[in-house]
Structure 1
Amino acid sequence: MTTESIEELFVEGLQELYYTEQQLVDALETLADQTSDETTSQAFSEHRDETEEHVDRLEQVFEQIGEEPQTREEQVVDALISEHEQFAGENEGEVLDRYNIAVGQKTEHYEIAAYGNVTSLAGKLGHDEAADLLEQTLREEEEALEELSQAGEQFDQQIASD
């Protein structure tokens, strides 16, 4: 795979995020349905709604830079989803609940890194409006990670006290 310019690298990053967000809409619904801890399940459900907004926002970014919205397969997200499907098929209860929190955190870390990179590139390339939209999503991903981290801590404390 040869990338000829920073602009092309930026567009490829957007395409990977567009793919990622679309995959995560379904994955977050699965996480919400599988998680028996009501607070965590609700957090996954709310982040699913937010992720749908991220898809829409990426479409706006593509429009602003004059590109057609396209996906580019992202192996990291595919691996996380595949790994989760296998684990969920073999486990249940509080073990699955805690695993779901962890996989959510892994995904948020990935998204934060990816959005951080495309946000920086957008700014450097003079796509200021796109950079603002991407920055907004980056902040929301950071908030989602914080929420999941708190849910994990609460879950761990609850397990320790049982």
Structure 2
Amino acid sequence: MTTDSTEELLVEGVQELYYTEQQLVDALETLADQTEYEAAQQAFSEHRDETQGHVERLEDVFEAIGEEPQTKEERVVDALIEEHEQFAQENDGEMLDRYNISVGQKTEHYEIAAYGNVTSLAGKAGYDEAADLLEETLREEEDALEELSQAGEQFDQSKVES
């Protein structure tokens, strides 16, 4: 990837996030369906609905930066989804629940980093409206990570007590 400007980095980053969020809408539904632990299942389900909103918000970001909505494949999210599919074929129950929480946390960390980067780029490029929209999603991703982390801690506590 060769680029000449902050704006190009911003556009590519938003395109990658647009792809990521679209992939995660389906992946979060799968995680919710596969997870037996109720707190994690609920977190996945709620974040799936929120993620659909992120897709729509990214369309507003594209408009704010004067670009047509377009995806750019992101191998990181593809690898996380593929790795999960393989694990889920070979495991179930408690191990799958624990793994699902873990992969959810990994995904949130990735999204937080990506949104942090594009938010900064949007601000630097003078796209204040886009930066505000991206910042809103960044905060929601941080909240989702916190909720998943709490669900993971509760899950671990419930297994110690069993």
| Structure 1 length-normalised TM | 0.99
Partner of 1:146: 146
Tell me, in whole angstroms, the C-alpha distance in 1 between the residues paired with 2:72 and 2:79: 15
Partner of 1:19: 19
CA RMSD of aligned residues (A): 0.5
Q: How does 1:8-87 map to 2 (within 5 A)?
A: 8-87=8-87
Matched, 1:110 2:110: yes
Q: Deviations over 1:15-59 (max 9, x none)?
A: 000000000000000000000112211110100000000000000
Q: What code does the residue aligned with 1:152 have? A: G
How many equivalent residue pairs? 162
Tell me, in whole angstroms, the C-alpha distance in 1 between the residues paired with 2:5 and 2:43: 39
Tell me, in whole angstroms, the C-alpha distance in 1 between the residues paired with 2:82 and 2:158: 29
Q: What code does the residue aligned with 1:160 have? A: V
How many percent of aligned residue pairs carry the same amino acid? 81
Tell me, in whole angstroms, the C-alpha distance in 1 between the residues paired with 2:39 and 2:76: 27
Gaps spanning 5+ residues in structure 1: where?
Answer: none
Tell me, in whole angstroms, the C-alpha distance in 2 between the residues paired with 1:17 and 1:64: 15
Q: What code does the residue aligned with 2:68 have? A: E
Tell me, in whole angstroms, the C-alpha distance in 2 between the residues paired with 1:64 and 1:132: 10
| Structure 2 length-normalised TM | 0.99
Q: Deviations over 1:76-97 (max 9, x none)?
A: 0000000000000000001000
SS of residue in 1 equivalent to 2:73: coil
Tell me, in whole angstroms, the C-alpha distance in 1 between the residues paired with 2:136 and 2:106: 20
Tell me, in whole angstroms, the C-alpha distance in 2 between the residues paired with 1:126 and 1:25: 30
SS of residue in 1 equivalent to 2:68: coil
Q: Deviations over 1:48-78 (max 9, x none)?
A: 0000000000000001111000000000000
Gaps spanning 5+ residues in structure 2: where?
Answer: none
Tell me, in whole angstroms, the C-alpha distance in 2 between the residues paired with 1:3 and 1:125: 15
